Structure formats: C-alpha cells, structure tokens
Structure 1
Amino acid sequence: MYKTVKKTALALVPKGFLIKNELFFRALFALRYKGKNHKCPICDHSLKKFIPLDDGDILCPFCGSRARTRRLFSLLKEHDLLHGSVLHFSPSRSLYRILSKDNSINYVSTDFEDEFIAQYHYDITKIDRPDNHFDVIICYHILEHIEEDQKAMQELFRVLKPGGSCLIQTPFKEGNDIYEDASITTEENRLKAFGQEDHVRIYSIAGLTERLKKSGFTQGDAKTFEDDVHAGFQAETILFLKK
C-alpha cells in the first residue's frame, strides 16, 4: 500500500511541492496507522504498526523515519550529544526537520551529491572547516561510498574538537576483513559485490575500527543494540568514537 501511494504521489505531484508539504500528506495517509502498540521517538506519534519496507526496514508513517534514524535520535538525547556544533552528513528529512530548528545547537548539515536536504555540500575528504571545530559528528552510511575512505576518516578526526564525539555506522559483514576491489567500477558489478550500486566496499566491524584507529581515533568502541519493537528499533552496530 505505502509503495503504491508513494509512487502515485511522485507521478502526480511535483517533488518539490511534496517535500515542502510532506508532513501534511503523511498525516493524511498515516491516520489508518494510529494506535497504541508502538511509539515513534522522533515525531512522538503512537502507532498501530510501522510500515514494513522491501529492504526489511520499518518506516514511521507520520514522519518517514527509518529504524536507524529513530535509534540515532534517541541515542543523541540519551548521551547528551545535542550540544555545541553538530556536523551531520546526508541527514534524513525526519531528523533534519528537528535538528535544524534546535536553537540550542549550531547544526551544520551537508550532502555532497545533493540527494538530501542540507545546507552545505562538503567533500568529506576535504571538509571546508578549520581544525577542532565540531563537538559532534554524525556520519551514518557514508564511508562505504567513499573511495578514499582513509582520507575521509582523517578529515573527520581533524575537524572534531578534543573531547568531541563521532558516531559512525555502515553496513557490516561477518569476519575481520574489509571486502573491497578498486577494479569493480560499474553499478551492476558494485551491486553484486557490495550490495548497492554506489558502494565501493563492505566493512567488517573490526576492519573499520582498525582503519579509524589509523586515522587518529584511538578512543571509543563499537556498540551493538538489539531490537525494540515498541520504538521501532532494529538490531544494529554503531561506532562511538572520541577525540
């Protein structure tokens, strides 16, 4: 149902108008999902159920948040990370709407490919900000797209303030090695090898952690979380790093 409605809306209504009025259209569609079984921690709506997606994720019908975004927002609040200057790469619209209006932080959003709503278009391998600038960096599902990932990690470390926090997440594989092959360049072959047309590798938790250590991140670790049906969280691993 959701997939059909979304496809029809995109075909009939200009994309810019849909984005501008997204919450209004979602509210109309989401009425059938109101209930008391679940609660979205981002938009605070009580739900009968989340919307299952083809990729196995679950979507909030009211704000459009995915499971990892809901957990991220909860962790940011739980660990008191919403303070000072916050750099957020390719933010989801559900989180961007909240953080960009939060006057208690200096929120800086960026998306290099202009696929997400963001204020800037920083190249993560050469971030146009001075050293020791940000208190918090959110880098979710970015590094697996970057060919020069070690250079990107060094930049994240450079612009993070001493004592600052960096949250990183990517898809992960089992084992200790990172699977990458620079000769794989076509979208078709990258989809087969790495699981998505614009991915250039698959990290293991150990492999990514080791690469981050080489870039300067010697503090922090990987934390694995379980499902939380009520809040619509799914099992996942997140790297919490300090400078």
Structure 2
Amino acid sequence: MTKVKYLKSFRKMYNSLKKTLKKLLPKRFIFNNEPFFRSLHGILYLGNKHQCGVCKKKLRRFIELPNKDLLCPFCGSLARNRRLWNILTTENYLKGRILHFSPSRNIYRKLKKRSDITYVTSDYEDEFIADHQFDITHIDQEKATFDTIICFHVLEHIPDDRKAIKELYRVAKPNANVLIQTPFKDGEIYENDQIITPEDRLKHFGQEDHVRVYSPEGLKTRLKQAGFTVKSLYFTPKSDDAYFGYASPEIVLIATK
C-alpha cells in the first residue's frame, strides 16, 4: 500500500470512529478526551512546513476542509481561531473578566487554564462547550461587568442584532473592548426578514442559520449607534500566512465602550 493510500485509509477509519464515538459517548467525555483522540490522528501531519499558533504544533500540513478552511489536526483550530488567538495574545485583551460567545474548544481550553483572568463562556443553543446559555439579546449579567468580550461569528445568526449590540454595550465596562468578526461583503448590509427557510438562507446569506450578510461599514455603523467607538483591523496577505494557516484578507472589528 502506498503512503498516500495508507493516509487516506487511516483518515477514513478515523472519521468513521469519530462519528461512532459521538453517537455512543457523552459530549463532556468527548470534550475532555478530544486532545488525546486528535493526537492519534495528528501524528500523520507532523512536520516543519507549518505551525499552529494556538497549540504550537509544527505540521507537515494543515487539513484542508471542503470550504478551503485549514484545520489544525491537533487542536482543531480553524484559520479564524488562529487569527483571534494571535490578536488576544499580542494585544492587551486578556485581562480581568472576559465574556466569550460560542467559544472554539481550542481557545476555551487555553483560557480556562489561566488563573489571571475570569473567563466566562456562553452558547445559547448548547452546540459548544460553555458555562452558560445567555441569550445575547438579554444577557443575564449586571451592567459594566466585562473587560473584554469576544463575539466571533455570532451576530450574523441573531435576528435582532441591534438589541444584541445594545446588550454588549450594557455589560461592557467603560473602556472595555468587544472583538467582533462576521462574514463580510462589499457595499451595504444584506438582510431580509422574509427569508426564513434554511434553504433560502443558504442561498441568500451563505449558511442555513444566517440571517444577514454584513458589510464592515454597515456593522460599524450599528455599533456606533449603540455608543461604541470602532476601529477595523485589516489583515492583508503576508508571506507567513501559509506557514501559520491564516486566511487573508481578513477584517476584525474592535468596538470600545
């Protein structure tokens, strides 16, 4: 058997085993043991051509997903997770009380281990591992509670996004920062509350559970209307993007109270 055929056969067996385990084992058990399961598969990808910025593993290559995103075989980070982790660790955002909506498991594990911050997580639909199930349009927390809020790929799912943005402003401390990213398009925000079926939402908004597509300027306007000042972080293609598995060009908004 050639090396390529062996790798394909192993990946097929691994994916089949993963589906079986998800059906048989509790979610918490899988979460607690996921690094071990991933390490068995990740051995096939060890090398020196790439490095994951979250788990620091050096790789022969990332796993390319059908949508062309790049998955780390060891920690499961996607390109946007690696970008977020780089922002969090190179800027002064990891301090005080942090609220993270729908956290990726790779970042969740890293921040839960830190004793210098209070890391609070929420996932309303219980699809992620999180501490709470806050409704982002009615966050069950006192006003001016958090120093940093992470809201990556959330607002495009929320029908009443203006109410959600007001809630983010309410629970943010003075001078707190909210890190926001969504899929973006040029021009104006595209939304239509008459588009409600998963099939139509996929066609119009790019995903079955999305309710709009923002433009950077359109989202900035809504954030400013709630009282935030907003700056844009623009990430243009760089020579080390391939090495770290980044997606460029990319935009992240920083909304400051």
Q: TM-score range by the shorter chain?
A: over 0.9
Matched, 1:181 2:226: no
2:132 to 104, 120, 133: 120
SS of 1:188's equivalent in the other structure is: helix
2:231 alignment partner, one of 201, 213, 221: 221
- Which of the pair is proportionally richer in helix? 2
SS in structure 2 of the partner of residue 130 of structure 1: coil
Alignment-derived partner of residue 208 in structure 2:
197
RMSD (Å) for aligned C-alpha atoms:
1.4
- TM-score, normalization by structure 2: 0.90
Alignment partners' CA distance in 1, 2:63 and 2:75: 12
Task: Determine the structure 2 residue equivalent to 1:20.
Answer: 32
Structure 1 distance, partners of 2:172, 2:25, is: 35
Residue 148 of structure 1 and its aligned partner are, at CA, apart by: 0.4
Q: Could you tell me how far apart the structure 1 residues matched to 2:15 and 2:185 are?
A: 32
Distance in structure 2 (CA, Å) of the matches to 1:71 and 1:63: 14
Q: Distance in 1 between matches of 2:11 and 2:225?
A: 43
Distance 1:104 1:11, change over 3 A: same
Structure 2 alignment gaps of length 5 or more? 1-7
TM superposition shift of 1:223:
1.4
Q: 2:143 touches 2:171 (CA, 8 Å); kept in 1?
A: yes
What is the match of residue 256 of structure 2? 242
Q: How does 1:87-98 map to 2 (within 5 A)?
A: 87-98=99-110
SS at match of 2:99: strand
- Return 5+ residue gaps in structure 1 as ranges: none
Partner of residue 12, structure 2: 4
What CA distance in whole angstroms lies between the structure 1 residues aligned with 2:11 and 2:79? 17
Structure number, greater radius of gyration: 2
In 2 relative to 1, CA 187–214 (structure 1 residues): closer, same or farther, beyond 3 Å?
A: same
Could you tell me whether the CA contact under 8 Å between 1:38 and 1:46 is conserved in 2? yes
The alpha carbon displacement at 1:231 in A equals 1.2
Single out whichever of 18-27 and 85-94 deviates more from structure 2.
18-27
> Alignment length, in residue pairs?
241
Q: 1:7 to 1:34 in 2, by over 3 A?
A: closer
* Aligned with residue 98 of structure 2, among 86, 93, 99: 86
Distance, in Å, in 2 between the alignment partners of 1:198 and 1:173 is 17
CA displacement, residues 163-204 of structure 1 (integer Å, 9 cap, x when unaligned): 1111000001111x1111101111111111101000000001
| Cα displacement (A) at 1:56 | 1.4
Deviation at 1:226, TM superposition (A): 2.8
- Aligned partners of 1:226 and 1:234 also within 8 Å: no
How far 1:129 moved relative to its partner?
A: 0.7
Could you tell me how far apart the structure 2 residues matched to 1:65 and 1:167 are?
18
3-state DSSP class of the match of 2:242? coil
SS at match of 2:164: helix
Q: Is the 8 A contact 1:143 1:170 kept in 2?
A: yes
Instruction: Write the letter of the residue equivalent to 1:224.
Output: Y
Give the TM-score normalised by the residue count of structure 1: 0.95
Retained in 2: the 8 A contact 1:168–1:239?
Answer: yes
Higher mean alpha-carbon deviation, 12-21 vs 107-116, is at 12-21
